[in-house]
Amino acid sequence: MDFHQEELKQLERHYQNTRNEIVLLYGDKQSGLSDILRLFLHHKTYYYYRARNCSPDLQLKLFYNEIREELPKGTGFNARYPDILSAMLSVTCQKRVIVIDDFQYLLKSDPSFMEDVLRTIHNKWNNQNVLFLLCTTAKTFVERDMVKSMSDQAYEFSSIIRLSELTFAEVWKAFPDYDQINAIELYSIFGAKAGDLAKLDPDLSLHDNVCRSVLTKGSPFYERGQSILPDELREPAVYHTILEALANGPRKLNELHKLTGFERAKISVYMKNLIEYGIVSKLESVPTKGLDHTLKGIYQIKDPFVRFWFYFIFPHYSALALMESEKFYRKYIDPLLRTYAGYAYSAICADHLMDKLKAENPKEKYDVTGAWYGKVGTIDLVACSERGHAVAAFCNFEKAKMPYADLEWDKYCVSQAGIKCDEIYLFSQQSFDEKIKKEAISDPSLHLIDGAFL
């Protein structure tokens, strides 16, 4: 599977550059960072060191010993970071690549290491061009703590490359034999992280991939389910209870309090940690005039696989221990998967509509965009431009045809939100009720978009 091609091209541009540079490459643990490194380093002259979470003395010893094994025999140098870096550049080549993986541990061991790196790249007497590639899957460290720990040194980076999630189109392209419904269901289960998708087999059906990679003991996602939480988070019983309560959809703190029995203040603390690690998100409803009808302070599981695990697996974990994977899939997953995947379809449609609006009106800037979460229902996308042009969108994935009653309810949600809509877009994975089709003919502000747009 060819993922993150743009990021690979960006790394290649840095490699071809004649300047000495420091580049940061990061993502989360499922971003496929290791795969990108292997592709980028192929046929290049490089040194690779993966830092450990250990004492400063042991870190230096490991670094010294591993690099000494890679250097030509007889190369003499002292066990000091400046000397090790100099030794790495003692053998000339087209361009030397020095990769420090999990670099946050090396910074923790010896904060002065970056000073040595900077002296190396700024040393005009070096005869060897070098690219320092600092890598990590500690996304939280990069986005929250790195600048604070490195201070002005962080501004010496030539580039910071983040391995973002893939688009739905890229995910579907990697599974070309899947029909649209299966591709959306796949997306709803495994998300859009290259490292996760690479564990699946595009030649297998969705059913077989889930049975083999999730429901089978020892499989990659089965093992992931056993350790959903980062090691840093204590009291897993509390987190698991909160996540189980969130699995069926967004919840307010008060609802979580009633479902779990935990105090609101306690839930807030644990929720903050889950948000920090990208497992949960706090939903902010797009601002509208209908404040009295808007839900506030609601949370949902952000990570697709975590949501899938706590929706389908966690409640039936005893059955999975004794039941064959195929039987478990047929009994517990298959009947509800179409309904479950609706949230992913809504996100795909919202992205498509924003792209469509921007393409059709490039001068129209939509400064207010997002979902509206109301006490009576949800508007999947509200987009308001600076000029006051307002659009609302509603999505149907579960039903074969969107019924006319849904359109009536959608209009009621718009009125509750206090939005004066110029246009309403209806998305339906298959089709629409004939009455909706007739209304769309007579009402130019009503747009119908079926699954063929994908």
pTM of the model: 0.88
Q: Are residues 198 and 290 in the same domain?
A: yes
Do 362 and 389 sit in the same domain of this protein? yes
- Per-residue pLDDT, 231: 84
User: Which pLDDT does position 195 carry in this prediction?
Assistant: 93
Residues 32 and 178 in one domain: no
In the predicted model, what is the mean pLDDT of residues 39-54?
A: 95
Tokens for 240, please give them.
Answer: 């698991």
Same domain membership, residue 148 and residue 217: no
Q: Kindly report the length of the chain.
A: 454
* 357/320 same-domain check: no
d(CA 68, CA 90): 12
pLDDT average, residue stretch 98-113: 94
Q: Which whole number is the average pLDDT over 70-95?
A: 90
> Same domain, yes or no, for 197 and 263?
yes
* Domain count of the fold of the chain: 3
Q: Which of 317, 340, 363 is the last residue of a domain?
A: 340
Task: Kindly report the average pLDDT of the chain as a whole number.
Answer: 93
pLDDT of 50 above 80 = yes
Q: Are residues 52 and 137 in the same domain?
A: yes
- Of the chain, the percentage scoring pLDDT greater than 90 comes to 83
| pLDDT score of 75 more than 90 | no
Q: Indicate whether 296 and 251 sit together in one domain.
A: yes
At 175 the pLDDT is: 96
Question: CATH number, domain at 235?
Answer: 1.10.10.10
> Same domain for 183 and 56?
no
For residue 194, the enclosing domain spans: 169-340
**Residue 182 pLDDT grade (very low, low, confident, very high; cuts 50, 70, 90):** very high
Which residues contact residue 258 at a Cβ distance below 8 angstroms, ignoring those fewer than 6 apart? Answer: none
Q: Report pLDDT for 249.
A: 86
Q: What is the pLDDT of residue 331?
A: 98
CATH code of residue 417: 3.40.1350.10
In sequence order, what are the residues at sequence separation of 6 or more whose Cβ sits closer than 8 angstroms to the Cβ of residue 289? 417, 418, 419
Do β-strands 159-162 and 251-252 pair in parallel, antiparallel, or remain unpaired? unpaired
Angle 391-275-146 from CA coordinates, rounded to 5°: 110
**Pair 374, 323 in one domain:** no
Same domain, residue pair 17 and 44: yes
Q: What is the pLDDT of residues 251-268, one digit of tens each?
A: 999 999 999 999 999 999
**Domain final residue pick, 132, 162, 192:** 162
Contacts of 156 (CB under 8 A, 6+ apart): 22, 118, 121
Q: Which of residues 142, 162, 182 is at a domain's end?
A: 162
CATH number reported for the structural domain that contains residue 49 in this entry: 3.40.50.300
List pLDDT tens digits, range 366-405: 988 999 999 999 999 999 998 889 999 999 999 999 999 9
